[in-house]
Structure 1
Amino acid sequence: MGTSLHRYLEIKMHQAIRSRRYDKITVVGEYTRTSPSEIFHGEKTDKSFNWQCPTALIVGNELQIQCFPGYDHVEHYAELIATYLDLQQREGNEALTIPSNVNFIPCSCSDTQRALHSTNLKELPSDVDTVVLGLFHRLSRLTGDVEWRGGDGCFGWVVRRFNNRVVAFIGCRPSFWGDIAGEVVHYLASFLSVREVIYFGKIGSVKKSIRPNNYLATGGRSYVQGQLVEWENSLESSTLLLALDCVIVGNHVTLGSVLHETKDWLSTLPVYADFVDPEVGMMAQAAIRSRIKFSYLHIFSDNVAEKYVEDLSNERERSVLVGISHLYDVVQDILHHYLSTNSLKANGHRS
């Protein structure tokens, strides 16, 4: 992230972290939005989903940062905080010198599954065949003017029919970072008998000359901790038919935190790696284990290999949002074509 790292960290830091130093900061897997926990003042409440940030609980001279449970999620936030405080110390901010320790309590997949079961996701209609996850609020042409369901819970959804399939477009208010995304796929398949998950999000290039917010990424391979995961990419034919000029079909690398995307890490990548994010490989693994279909279609929002003005630190600026709008139209064209012209194979039928 280079010179943009400081700004990226600033927009992630809860006001309790910036207010004073603590003897200890611990990041835990606990989803809560009620007092005495304190909500982050920097939450982007002008959008419907993916805006809830970790909360903070002060106990004496210790600070607890509370994240939706997931190993990658809590580790990522602990690293964000430690890096931020380290930079503050280097810049001579005596009020925020690094505390005695910043750590995290690891979460298990069972912790994540229990948290998911406590949400309103279990209220999703039982006849849904395909779920589209991710940037739900950018797909208005597909979701139509149907009122979203789910109330004020973690998840909200719109259900529509395309050809022979019932499709739920699901948005999540908190972030489902890293392995949480895989557990969401597992939950949808195991408890709600969903037969297919499509993920629409953002991704980073590990190859030069890929300008952020100008291209889409898709594929059927991801490297998770060095191990290759392969699956059938159902969206590929529709993508190449409708958007050949702005789509890159390539090989994905799954990495738990953007802070791990360093120059040293980049130098170890094999030449066949094309792009990186924390979720795709985890979701693909879960889909394979659950014997359901999985595909993804992402917008390049960052380039790890080459510095551009547009990156993760300014993706909410108006100029970026206006410039990227045409890609949302392309994504909707692709998804509409796929959902309307393809049927789920017989091996995906409900039991």
Structure 2
Amino acid sequence: MIIRMDAPGDSYPTVDYRDLAPQEVAPADWRDHTMSRERLARYLEIKVHHLVSERDWKCLRVVGRHLPTAESSRYEKRDKLFNWQRPTAVRHGNELVVNCYPGRDYVYHYGLILATYLEMTNRINTRVMVELPEADAARLELSRCTPEIEPGTVVVVGWGLDRIAGVSGWQAGDGYSWKVRHVAGRSVCHLGFEHSIWGDVAGRVVERVYQLGASAVVYVGKVGALNPAWEPNTLLATGDSSLVDGKLVHWRNYFGAGNGARRGVHVTSPSVLLETRTWLEEHIDRQFVDPEIGHMGLAARTCGIPFGYHHIISNNLARNYPADLSNERDGNVRFRRDLLLDQISGEIYNNLPAIKESNDAPR
């Protein structure tokens, strides 16, 4: 599979995988991964749909189709408001069809998850095929997202929103909810999705909320650190640049210079499974990695609005710490992250007065 970004001028790039026909996915190089075999296996186990282990399938076919009415995974984290809905599955003879939200990065990522999991569990006779969605599939799906966003609103999307804005008072849409607060004379819309907005889908979210009236977008989430000194779940990260397909992208940062978050150049990677030790050596002069930030920053730059991410450093690729992506549900990890989310909340609201009125003009 070939991944290429096509970005003429300042237009928003779409991931071009060149061939939309079904393609077989090879396992990631898990022996070279920055996570140990044990921890990587644990990470995969909680991501894989339970029907994958029901029998020996001839083929697992991963498609870009949002189908929440199909059979959901029993491993879904139902104890939270957002980002709990995982790919669903449908039995089709000797095939299992896995339905992902229609983002190309997400379909590819989930295909890698399945192929790598099968190899690590010695189930090498099952093929994994991916059918990538059209470039506009996520944009079309997000056109159904219609929260009430008045012109000039700062939109906060991502993870931990129920901690930032509270668990009550949310208005429900179809697969999403939003909550508006007025702080420092500004309207702030917190927007959360039940499904994942992985990779390129996140850029489409920025486009969508801009169309609805957003004057700035803030993304709250979790990011991997490439600096071995940065311990997970103790520090925050922010910045104004990302490496997207080898090209450095800059944007107007919502967050100023006066906070305690670690700063640096981010790398946008479509899948955690690609983050091997070899990959790390190639990006050792960068500071952070995740699948969404570069897409969102570039979309915001194209729309002409500020964008900022304020993320918890959730794992470290350059050094083994007790906490990583395999044990995120641990009680102590969740406690530490709640404290950091409170810091993020303060930074979001403290920066509201700095958003210039020139961004509030109706479109």
TM norm. shorter chain > 0.5? yes
Which residue number in structure 1 is paired with residue 237 of structure 2? 217
Which residue number in structure 1 is paired with residue 331 of structure 2? 318
Distance verdict in 2 for CA 1:275–1:148, change over 3 Å: same
CA contact (8 A) 1:56 1:65 kept: yes
221, 239, 243: which one pairs with 1:201? 221
CA contact (8 A) 1:21 1:98 kept: no
TM-score norm. by structure 2 comes to: 0.86
Alpha-carbon offset, residue 165 of structure 1: 2.1
CA contact (8 A) 1:292 1:348 kept: no
**Structure 2: any 5+ residue segments left out of the alignment?**
1-34
Residue 16 (structure 2) pairs with residue 2 (structure 1): no
CA contact (8 A) 1:136 1:170 kept: no
Instruction: State the alpha-carbon separation in 1 of the partners of residues 319 and 155 from structure 2.
Output: 34
Which residue number in structure 2 is paired with residue 109 of structure 1? 135
Instruction: State the alpha-carbon separation in 2 of the partners of residues 159 and 347 from structure 1.
Output: 19
Alpha-carbon offset, residue 329 of structure 1: 1.8
Residue 154 (structure 2) pairs with residue 130 (structure 1): yes
Distance verdict in 2 for CA 1:193–1:309, change over 3 Å: same
Which deviations, in whole Å up to 9, do the C-alpha atoms of 1:26-45 show, x marking residues without a partner?
111111122xx211111110
Which residue number in structure 2 is paired with residue 23 of structure 1? 58
Instruction: State the alpha-carbon separation in 2 of the partners of residues 72 and 6 from structure 1.
Output: 21
Residue 361 (structure 2) pairs with residue 349 (structure 1): yes
CA contact (8 A) 1:218 1:236 kept: no
Alpha-carbon offset, residue 189 of structure 1: 1.4
SS at 1:305's partner residue? coil
Distance verdict in 2 for CA 1:144–1:54, change over 3 Å: closer
TM-score norm. by structure 1 comes to: 0.89
CA contact (8 A) 1:29 1:70 kept: yes
Distance verdict in 2 for CA 1:149–1:86, change over 3 Å: same
Instruction: State the alpha-carbon separation in 1 of the partners of residues 63 and 271 from structure 2.
Output: 16
Identity value in percent: 38
SS at 1:78's partner residue? helix
199, 204, 217: which one pairs with 1:183? 204
CA contact (8 A) 2:235 2:312 kept: yes
Which residue number in structure 2 is paired with residue 293 of structure 1? 306
150, 154, 157: which one pairs with 2:172? 150
Instruction: State the alpha-carbon separation in 2 of the partners of residues 160 and 314 from structure 1.
Output: 33
Where do 1:91-102 residues align within 5 Å?
Answer: 97-102=123-128
Q: Which amino acid aligns with 2:223?
A: I
**Structure 1: any 5+ residue segments left out of the alignment?**
90-96
More helix by share: 1
Distance verdict in 2 for CA 1:145–1:12, change over 3 Å: closer
RMSD (Å), alpha carbons:
1.6
